[in-house]
């Protein structure tokens, strides 16, 4: 490993190619090749893709798309200090998007009026209410169909399908068994009960179908999509974490520019003291010392990358940072499989995604690569662009992509609109804002990325992502070609 460390010092993605090996993959099909990886100790992904916690990249829409495609989205903390609720809402939207078992279905009492039932269905957007008594024992089911022609007159009890005519299940139930029960009994809703007859949950046929259509999606034990959320290391961060955890976020990421710091040490200690062993990822670091520092403090995952990001000017402004391939190799050696690493930043082409996973990342966090897609937050604006050939001006749709430490992002977070211009200039920005062409959905892009990863696995001579990583780490000399300037041009300039 010492040789590899020497070889990659000062280098990043575009400095290397990998030597093709004897391939063993019959078909480069994502359904046939195991791409499982770990984002953190307790959180496995079927696809090693993470969308960055940036306010122009990941809010609920992106987090849903990425989780449905097998990865994970981390909701940014780019909301103003003290404004915790908007971030929590984004987490809730993701958690409510898909269900296996609905753990907290909407309910109504048998004596409520049908007008009340109608209002409740309208307010919650659901077409089924479980009817429960005051002790939460299931009395029946009321659906929109039961309300037809009733004109609001009468009570819920008069129209519901009563308990004795319902098919129910007592205790836990696997989705496959639920599907079988629903098919046999020709039902679309299956209430789950506890032994004492109280409501435990609800399974719907629609949810089960969605689950089958998206077999790689990242789900929790109840079949809901998984999502992460970022917090800082000072200010309202513990309060924010408490609210996010209440909304059942799956992992918290303490994300600060310099993760190997006293601020981070204090934050992790306070976090663990208050929240125990919930999944906690921390970063960013880019050195072996940084990894050991976080590992000793008991984190479940480490984010690696100081300054490679597309919207980032840290290296320009401070001259600190580590070229990302060097950082990944160094951090991998220090982590030695004891904690999953997230390769964060600098991945601008699909081949670099493969390199990030090969040199050290268990998963890869993407910002700029996803920028401008339909699922990113923010307005699309039409900008005039002059065509070089004809000198004609056309209007092209653009979206904003910006570093989280850019002046614009800091200003939005800090509520400093009224501050003197000079004060704002002195905020010490380490990021920039750029316009990127607006594109279609992120989903084809993610699938393309995964297909290219499968092809890379084939070239590597392995049969799975884990095998590719292991083979590389055993014999990096068989793979790594350090490029000359002309080799680099031949490889990457098109």
Active site residues: 312
Site string for ligand XMP, 45-84 (x = CB under 6 A): -------x-x------------------------------
Which of the stretches 131-139, 152-160, 229-237, 365-373 binds ligand XMP when contact is defined by CB under 6 A?
Answer: 365-373
Q: How far is the CB of 51 from ligand XMP (least distance, A)?
A: 9
Which positions from 21 through 50 interact with ligand XMP, judged by CB under 6 A? none
Q: Which of 157, 153, 185 is nearest to 169 (CA)?
A: 185
| CB distance 345 to 13 below 8 Å | no
Burial of 315 (0-12, 13-18, 19+ CB in 10 A): middle
By CB under 6 A, tell whether 323 contacts ligand XMP: no
Residue 179 or residue 430: which is nearer to ligand XMP going by CB? 430
Separation CA 52–CA 369 (nearest Å): 10
Separation CA 203–CA 328 (nearest Å): 44
Which of the stretches 101-109, 363-371, 388-396, 435-443 binds ligand XMP when contact is defined by CB under 6 A?
Answer: 363-371
Give Cβ neighbours of residue 183 (< 8 Å, ≥ 6 apart): none
Choice from 71, 259, 290, 309 touching ligand XMP (CB under 6 A): 309
Which positions from 97 through 156 interact with ligand XMP, judged by CB under 6 A? none
Separation CA 366–CA 352 (nearest Å): 11
Residue 70 or residue 311: which is nearer to ligand XMP going by CB? 311
Residue entry with tokens 């984002």: 39
Residue 13 or residue 479: which is nearer to ligand XMP going by CB? 13
Q: Which residue is nearest to ligand XMP (CB)?
A: 431
| CB distance 52 to 74 below 8 Å | yes
Half-sphere exposure of 1 (CA within 13 A, CB side): 14
| CB distance 99 to 251 below 8 Å | no
Strand order in 138-143's β-sheet? 107-108, 128-132, 138-143, 161-162
Q: How far is the CB of 307 from ligand XMP (least distance, A)?
A: 5
Q: How many residues bind ligand XMP (CB under 6 A)?
A: 26
CA 30 to chain CA centroid, Å, is 19
Separation CA 340–CA 50 (nearest Å): 13
Choice from 48, 78, 367, 461 touching ligand XMP (CB under 6 A): 367
| CB distance 234 to 254 below 8 Å | no
Which of the stretches 38-46, 163-171, 310-318, 355-363 binds ligand XMP when contact is defined by CB under 6 A?
Answer: 310-318
DSSP 176-191: HHHHHHHHHHT-SEEE
Q: How far is the CB of 421 from ligand XMP (least distance, A)?
A: 21
Crossing angle of helices 350-359 and 442-460, rounded to 10°: 50
CA 296 to chain CA centroid, Å, is 26
Q: How far is the CB of 492 from ligand XMP (least distance, A)?
A: 16
Choice from 368, 461, 463, 476 touching ligand XMP (CB under 6 A): 368
By CB under 6 A, tell whether 203 contacts ligand XMP: no
Residue 57 or residue 268: which is nearer to ligand XMP going by CB? 57
By CB under 6 A, tell whether 290 contacts ligand XMP: no
By CB under 6 A, tell whether 310 contacts ligand XMP: yes
Residue 187 or residue 369: which is nearer to ligand XMP going by CB? 369
Residue entry with tokens 């316009």: 435
Which positions from 150 through 179 interact with ligand XMP, judged by CB under 6 A? none
Residue 100 or residue 431: which is nearer to ligand XMP going by CB? 431
DSSP 44-70: EESS-EEE---TTT-SHHHHHHHHHTT
Residue 323 or residue 463: which is nearer to ligand XMP going by CB? 323
Separation CA 42–CA 38 (nearest Å): 8
Separation CA 295–CA 309 (nearest Å): 24
By CB under 6 A, tell whether 362 contacts ligand XMP: no
Q: How far is the CB of 75 from ligand XMP (least distance, A)?
A: 13
Q: How far is the CB of 370 from ligand XMP (least distance, A)?
A: 8
By CB under 6 A, tell whether 311 contacts ligand XMP: yes
Separation CA 384–CA 373 (nearest Å): 20
Residue 73 or residue 463: which is nearer to ligand XMP going by CB? 73
Site string for ligand XMP, 397-416 (x = CB under 6 A): ------xxxx----------
Choice from 71, 377, 431, 463 touching ligand XMP (CB under 6 A): 431
| CB distance 300 to 312 below 8 Å | no
Which positions from 218 through 257 interact with ligand XMP, judged by CB under 6 A? 257
Q: How far is the CB of 324 from ligand XMP (least distance, A)?
A: 9
Site residues, ligand XMP (CB under 6 A): 52, 54, 257, 284, 305, 307, 309-312, 314, 344-347, 365-369, 403-406, 430-431
């Amino acid at each position: 490993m010492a040789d590899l460390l020497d070889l990659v010092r000062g280098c990043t993605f575009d400095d290397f190619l990998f030597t093709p090996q004897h391939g063993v993959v019959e078909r480069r099909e994502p359904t046939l090749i195991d791409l499982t990886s770990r984002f953190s100790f307790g959180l496995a992904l079927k696809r090693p893709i993470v969308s960055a916690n940036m306010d122009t990249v990941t809010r609920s829409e992106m987090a849903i798309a990425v989780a449905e495609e097998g990865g994970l989205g981390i909701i940014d903390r780019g909301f103003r200090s003290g404004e915790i609720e908007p971030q929590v809402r984004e987490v809730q939207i993701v958690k409510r998007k898909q269900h296996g078992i609905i753990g907290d279905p909407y309910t109504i009492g048998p004596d409520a009026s049908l007008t009340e039932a109608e209002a409740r269905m309208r307010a919650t957007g659901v077409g089924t209410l479980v009817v429960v008594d005051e002790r939460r024992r299931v009395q029946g089911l009321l659906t929109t169909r039961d309300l037809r022609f009733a004109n609001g007159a009468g009570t819920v009890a008069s129209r519901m399908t009563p308990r004795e005519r319902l098919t129910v299940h007592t205790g836990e139930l696997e989705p496959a068994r639920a599907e079988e029960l629903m098919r046999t009994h020709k039902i679309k809703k299956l209430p789950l009960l506890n032994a004492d007859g109280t409501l435990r949950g609800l399974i719907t046929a629609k949810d089960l179908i969605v689950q089958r259509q998206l077999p790689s999606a990242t789900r929790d034990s109840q079949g809901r999509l998984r999502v992460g959320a970022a917090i800082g290391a000072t200010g309202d961060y513990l309060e924010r974490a408490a609210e996010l955890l209440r909304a059942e976020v799956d992992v918290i990421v303490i994300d600060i520019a310099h993760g190997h710091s006293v601020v981070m040490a204090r934050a992790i200690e306070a976090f663990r003291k208050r929240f125990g062993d919930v999944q906690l990822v921390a970063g960013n670091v880019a050195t072996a010392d940084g990894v050991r520092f976080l590992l000793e403090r008991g984190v479940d995952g480490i984010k690696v990358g100081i300054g490679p990001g597309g919207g980032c000017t840290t290296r320009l402004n401070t001259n600190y940072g580590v070229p990302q391939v060097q950082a990944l190799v160094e951090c991998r050696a220090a982590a030695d499989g004891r904690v999953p690493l997230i390769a964060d930043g600098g991945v601008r082409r699909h081949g670099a995604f493969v390199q990030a996973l090969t040199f050290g990342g268990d998963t890869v966090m993407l910002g700029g690569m996803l920028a401008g897609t339909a699922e990113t937050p923010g307005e699309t604006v039409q900008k005039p662009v002059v065509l070089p050939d004809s000198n004609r001006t056309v209007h092209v749709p653009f979206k904003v992509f910006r570093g989280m430490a850019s002046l614009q992002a800091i200003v939005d977070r800090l509520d400093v609109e009224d501050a003197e211009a000079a004060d704002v200039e002195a905020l010490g920005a380490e990021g920039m804002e750029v316009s990127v062409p607006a594109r279609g959905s992120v989903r084809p892009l993610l699938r393309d990325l995964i297909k290219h990863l499968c092809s890379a696995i084939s070239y590597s001579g392995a049969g799975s992502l884990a095998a590719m990583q292991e083979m590389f780490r055993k014999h990096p000399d068989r793979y790594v070609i350090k490029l000359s300037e002309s080799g680099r041009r031949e490889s990457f300039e098109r």
